[in-house]
């Protein structure tokens, strides 16, 4: 059973028990109905308490039922809440720890509510592109007032119970328990009191739905709120629908408002934005699970971290651990390099202090956790050592051999390499099972993504530990197999190749950037190249010309680098930059270079539509993503989406390249690719659909 029923004197207690957060899944809903029935037919019972076992009152919908038939099956949450409201005996919600979404809606249906201090209360549905669909938009404004309710519903943010209890005239909590520990006893006492009070049936049971709901400046207030929400919610329809629903609570009869809320909810369920956000929600959870590494795999304790290399990446990587309260020792070959690295860390923290994002004492605490060294011996008590030295196999070899000599048994040895073979690096040690790739993204203290590169020999507990530590340092970790570029950079290479073909054929860098930025990317490929440094791609291409001479690339990017236009760091790249500024200014010199190149190749430029630009770039990602899945480098399409959403600025409301392609229909993607393959200036082999994509498209399936 996912809810327990017990009688204490004249009070029946229904305890939701569906770990981890008492999600209101079908069996829990059935058990609540069953408990209500039992209590109402037991003449010795005068009142009922609904509470939650373990870590929550209830976190709301059961995510295991997301998008499944069971979510809609009767009794649905509406039915449960209606049964609670119609109970002949008073129902008291005893709320603690977490009371969110459907959990709060259930509590709002109860006749009385007592909450433990410190409870997190929220209606977070908007974060999934939805609105509360079981009366939350109609009952919460009645319980705490229109403005506080609207703030909670539109933002989805959590509020602590003690703050809500301070709202003047609020009817959400009849009582705040004196402490979390006292909740159970005080809830029983309250139930006993109200049970006796209502025993003769003379006094009606109080219902939130019967409370008045008005805003004194109705039209003006909602007009103002709509303007504000419209400006903030940009690509998402849900926040404005939340306003509509709350406004309905102030203007319509309760049942009509409830019906309206239902209609809006159902419509939002079908919006691409909500589908994308729900996909992201599920994909994020799924990414943290590794099929052959059970969730109860014992992890290694990480109490001290070593970082080798205090350059761009080493400094940022160190900050992640310092922020999480884990001591870090950075090793370099020269004192000057250490001093430079530590100065950069200080500068970053000081900027945060200046902006008011970090308190002085926290800054001092973090810096106190940092030590530096030139001697490997000082790393011998580290539990995790991350290498971030120059990207050369020989340098990595020297580092890993020394680590193998000094690191304690069981220490995890990680490489931040972005292109080198983690299996080769592991083979430099006598403990390949302890070696793993931890591919951070720049700036490493800011970017959410961490690709965890699993070598042939990487031990299960090493993977489990790295996934856990990633959570601790607030990264989204995605497991990748070993291949050139792993998931993200392997895909971006194809995207960049396609961007090159587009400008050869007639588009300008700014047209390409504008088109994909309009699609929702944080930055177009050319602005991104300028930010990261065009010389990085140049070095990779030079290697490719030797390794894969048949592979076609536009030469424009090489010509750009030959002109010394490496990007923002040289003040000029695909665009020009003014000193100290990051605004990309179109460059005549670059346009002339492209034009001369086209002439040399006999290409007559043509006008390319924004739609074609977006399709060619996004489908380039999708096709390589399909190949990555087929090769087993990523184990789930959702993992690829997480990489693109958290590391490459893919628009969140489109759910990542693989989800987006599935929504379009894979057959449509393949047909577009076949059209592109006809283009004499493109590379027909580029548009050969990956076998997995071709098969799924033919079968009418999705990536999932």
Catalytic residues: 105, 125
Residues 437-466 as x/- pattern, contact with ligand NAI by CB under 6 A: --xxxx------------------------
418 binds ligand NAI (CB under 6 A): yes
**25: which strand partners?**
none
Q: Which residue is nearest to ligand NAI (CB)?
A: 311
312 binds ligand NAI (CB under 6 A): yes
Nearer to ligand NAI, 224 or 390 (CB): 390
Backbone angles phi, psi at 256, to 5 degrees: -65, -40
Among residues 384, 389, 452, the alpha carbon closest in space to that of 422 is found at 452
Integer Cα distance of 102 and 133 in angstroms: 8
**586: which strand partners?**
575
Nearer to ligand NAI, 254 or 428 (CB): 428
Per CB under 6 A, which of residues 318..347 are in contact with ligand NAI?
Answer: 331-333, 337
Stretch that binds ligand NAI, among 376-384, 412-420, 636-644, 688-696 (CB under 6 A): 412-420
Stretch that binds ligand NAI, among 30-38, 233-241, 343-351, 391-399 (CB under 6 A): 391-399
Integer Cα distance of 700 and 704 in angstroms: 12
Stretch that binds ligand NAI, among 189-197, 415-423, 498-506, 681-689 (CB under 6 A): 415-423
Minimum CB–partner distance for residue 420 and ligand NAI (Å): 7
Minimum CB–partner distance for residue 451 and ligand NAI (Å): 9
54-74 as b/e: b if 16+ CB within 10 A = eebbbbbbbbebeeeeebeee
Which one of 417, 458, 556, 635 is in contact with ligand NAI (CB under 6 A)?
417
Token pair listed for 6:
């017990």
Minimum CB–partner distance for residue 488 and ligand NAI (Å): 10
Which one of 53, 71, 182, 395 is in contact with ligand NAI (CB under 6 A)?
395
Using the 8-state DSSP alphabet, how is residue 529 labeled? H
Per CB under 6 A, which of residues 165..194 are in contact with ligand NAI?
Answer: none
Which one of 115, 290, 313, 425 is in contact with ligand NAI (CB under 6 A)?
313
Integer Cα distance of 56 and 19 in angstroms: 9
Stretch that binds ligand NAI, among 21-29, 65-73, 385-393, 687-695 (CB under 6 A): 385-393
Question: Taking a C-beta distance cutoff of 8 angstroms, is the pair 605, 505 a contact?
Answer: yes
Which one of 54, 311, 327, 506 is in contact with ligand NAI (CB under 6 A)?
311
247's enclosing H/E stretch is: helix 238-251
Minimum CB–partner distance for residue 397 and ligand NAI (Å): 10
Non-local (6+) Cβ contacts of 358 within 8 A are 349, 352
Integer Cα distance of 683 and 552 in angstroms: 7
Per CB under 6 A, which of residues 291..310 are in contact with ligand NAI?
Answer: 308-310
530 binds ligand NAI (CB under 6 A): no
Which sign does the torsion angle of CA 291, 65, 473, 116 carry? negative
Question: Taking a C-beta distance cutoff of 8 angstroms, is the pair 617, 499 a contact?
Answer: yes
Quickly tell me which residue has 């197999």 as its tokens. 481
Minimum CB–partner distance for residue 417 and ligand NAI (Å): 5
Integer Cα distance of 95 and 82 in angstroms: 19
Which one of 157, 339, 368, 390 is in contact with ligand NAI (CB under 6 A)?
390
Per CB under 6 A, which of residues 653..672 are in contact with ligand NAI?
Answer: none
Which one of 131, 190, 389, 643 is in contact with ligand NAI (CB under 6 A)?
389
Distance of CA 650 to the CA centre of its chain: 12
Quickly tell me which residue has 């040690």 as its tokens. 429
- Name the site residues for ligand NAI (rule: CB under 6 A): 308-314, 331-333, 337, 388-391, 395, 398-399, 416-418, 439-442
């Amino acid at each position: 059973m996912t809810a327990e029923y017990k009688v204490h004197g004249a009070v029946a207690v229904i305890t939701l028990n569906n770990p981890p957060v008492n999600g209101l899944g079908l069996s829990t809903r059935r058990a609540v109905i069953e408990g209500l029935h039992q209590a109402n037919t037991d003449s010795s019972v005068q009142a009922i308490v609904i509470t939650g076992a373990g870590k929550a009152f209830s976190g709301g919908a059961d995510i295991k039922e997301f998008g499944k038939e069971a979510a809609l099956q009767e009794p649905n949450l509406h039915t449960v809440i209606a049964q609670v409201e119609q109970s002949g005996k008073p129902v008291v919600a005893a709320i603690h720890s977490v009371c969110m979404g459907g959990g709060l809606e259930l509590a709002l249906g109860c006749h009385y509510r007592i909450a433990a201090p410190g409870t997190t209360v929220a209606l977070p549905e908007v974060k999934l592109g939805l609105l509360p669909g079981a009366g939350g938009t109609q009952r919460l404004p009645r319980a705490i007032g229109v403005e506080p309710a609207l703030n909670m519903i539109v933002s989805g943010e959590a509020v602590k119970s003690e703050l809500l209890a301070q709202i003047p005239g609020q009817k959400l909590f009849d009582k705040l328990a004196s402490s979390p520990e006292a909740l159970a006893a005080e809830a029983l006492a309250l139930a006993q009191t109200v049970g006796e009070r209502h025993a003769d049936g003379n006094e009606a049971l109080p219902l939130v739905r019967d409370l008045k709901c008005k805003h004194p400046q109705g039209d003006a207030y909602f007009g103002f709120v709509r303007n504000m929400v419209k400006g903030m919610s940009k690509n998402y329809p849900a926040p404005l629908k939340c306003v509509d629903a709350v406004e309905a609570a102030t203007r319509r009869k309760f049942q009509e408002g409830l019906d309206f809320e239902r209609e809006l909810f159902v419509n939002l369920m079908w919006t691409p934005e909500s589908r994308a956000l729900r996909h992201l929600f599920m994909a994020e959870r799924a990414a943290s699970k590794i099929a052959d590494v059970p969730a109860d795999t014992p992890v290694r304790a990480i109490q001290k971290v070593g970082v080798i290399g205090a350059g761009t990446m080493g400094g940022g990587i160190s900050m992640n651990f310092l922020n999480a309260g884990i001591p870090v020792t950075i090793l370099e070959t020269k004192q000057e390099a250490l001093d430079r690295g530590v100065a950069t860390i200080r500068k970053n923290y000081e900027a945060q202090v200046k902006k008011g994002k970090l308190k002085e004492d926290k800054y001092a605490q973090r810096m106190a956790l940092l030590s530096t060294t030139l001697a490997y011996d000082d790393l011998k008590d580290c539990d995790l050592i991350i290498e971030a030295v120059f990207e050369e196999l020989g340098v990595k070899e020297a580092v890993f051999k020394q680590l193998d000599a000094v690191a304690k048994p069981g220490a995890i040895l990680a490489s931040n390499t972005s292109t080198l073979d983690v299996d080769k690096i592991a083979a430099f040690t006598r403990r390949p099972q302890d070696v793993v790739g931890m591919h951070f993204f720049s700036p490493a203290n800011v970017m959410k993504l961490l690709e965890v590169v699993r070598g042939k020999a990487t031990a299960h507990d090493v993977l489990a530990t790295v996934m856990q530590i990633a959570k601790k340092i607030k990264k989204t970790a995605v497991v990748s197999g070993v291949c050139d570029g792993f998931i993200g950079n392997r895909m971006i290479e194809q995207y960049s190749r396609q961007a090159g073909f587009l400008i050869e054929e007639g588009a300008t860098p700014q047209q390409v950037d504008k088109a994909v930025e309009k699609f929702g990317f944080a930055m177009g490929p050319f602005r991104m190249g300028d930010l990261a440094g065009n010389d990085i791609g140049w070095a990779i291409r030079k290697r490719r010309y030797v390794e894969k001479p048949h592979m076609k690339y536009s030469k424009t990017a090489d010509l750009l680098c030959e002109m010394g236009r490496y990007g923002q760091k040289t003040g000029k790249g695909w665009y020009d930059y003014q000193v100290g500024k990051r605004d990309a200014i179109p460059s005549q010199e670059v346009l002339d270079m492209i034009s001369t190149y086209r002439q040399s190749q006999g290409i007559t430029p043509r006008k390319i539509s924004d739609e074609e630009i977006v399709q060619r770039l996004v489908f380039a990602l999708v096709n390589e993503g399909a190949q990555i899945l087929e090769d087993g480098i990523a184990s789930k399409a959702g993992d690829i989406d997480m990489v693109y959403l958290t590391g490459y600025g893919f628009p969140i409301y489109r759910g990542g390249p693989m989800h987006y392609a599935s929504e379009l229909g894979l057959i449509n993607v393949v047909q577009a690719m076949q059209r592109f393959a006809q283009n004499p200036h493109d590379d027909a082999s580029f548009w050969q659909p990956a076998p997995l994509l071709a098969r799924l498209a033919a079968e009418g399936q999705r990536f999932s």
